[in-house]
């Protein structure tokens, strides 16, 4: 029997729907703060993805969104560890190399979204501007 009758795992994964919802909530929050969104879920190369890319005046901002249903197992910012920061730096460096006129200033932000679309309760949103800097391994490339 072919496996085509099975529903896609991605369509049923609740953590993916929370993540997409969290990205929408984060985007609204950043727009409210005056940032201009210039990219959503930007793929860079085969493996790298940037959740949001925004402009804050002359600064290009790479935004990582972390959404969680609750904080029982720690704040979402704790998921942005050294390995994740390095991956985000690699994606940002690749993105910057693809631009004709790269900006002089960049920043990495993290937006924490705690809640669920099913709760009906307003989510807790924390915008951490300048959460980390570009990994030193990728600085000469840019």
Closest C-alpha to 130, from 80, 72, 61: 61
> Does residue 88 lie in a domain region?
yes
Q: What is the pLDDT of residue 73?
A: 79
Q: What is the pLDDT of residue 137?
A: 76
> Does residue 51 lie in a domain region?
yes
pLDDT band for position 141 (50/70/90)? low
Domain that holds residue 42: 8-138
pLDDT band for position 136 (50/70/90)? confident
Q: What is the pLDDT of residue 15?
A: 57
Chain centre distance of CA 99: 20
Contacts of 127 (CB under 8 A, 6+ apart): 26, 29, 30, 33, 109, 111
Q: What is the pLDDT of residue 135?
A: 84
pLDDT digits (tens, 9 = 90+) for 48-105: 999 999 999 999 999 999 999 888 878 888 889 999 999 999 999 999 999 998 898 9
| CATH number where 110 lies | 3.40.1350.10
> Does residue 17 lie in a domain region?
yes
The whole-angstrom separation of Cα 79 and Cα 63 is 14
> Does residue 2 lie in a domain region?
no
Is the overall model pTM greater than 0.75, yes or no?
Answer: yes
> Does residue 112 lie in a domain region?
yes
Cα angle: 20, vertex 23, 28; to 5 degrees: 135
Indicate whether 112 pLDDT > 60: yes
- Token readout for 35 is 């940032």
> Does residue 3 lie in a domain region?
no
pLDDT digits (tens, 9 = 90+) for 2-43: 555 555 555 556 556 888 999 999 999 999 999 999 999 999
- Starting from the edge strand earliest in sequence, which strands make up the sheet with 48-56, in order? 36-44, 48-56, 59-68, 105-114, 124-132
> Does residue 84 lie in a domain region?
yes
The structural domain count of the chain equals 1
> Does residue 33 lie in a domain region?
yes
């Amino acid at each position: 029997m072919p496996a085509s009758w099975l529903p896609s795992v991605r369509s049923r994964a609740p953590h993916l729907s929370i993540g997409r919802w969290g990205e929408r909530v984060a985007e609204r929050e950043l727009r409210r703060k005056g940032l201009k969104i210039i990219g959503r879920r930007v793929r860079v190369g085969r493996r790298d993805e940037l959740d949001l890319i925004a402009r804050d005046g002359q600064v290009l901002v790479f935004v990582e969104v972390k959404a969680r249903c609750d904080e029982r197992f720690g704040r979402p910012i704790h998921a942005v560890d050294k390995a994740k920061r390095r991956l985000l730096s690699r994606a940002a460096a690749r993105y910057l190399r693809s631009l004709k006129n790269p900006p002089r200033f960049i920043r990495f932000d993290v937006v924490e979204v705690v809640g669920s679309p099913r709760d009906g309760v307003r989510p807790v949103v924390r915008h951490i501007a300048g959460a980390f800097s570009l990994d030193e391994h990728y600085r000469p490339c840019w």
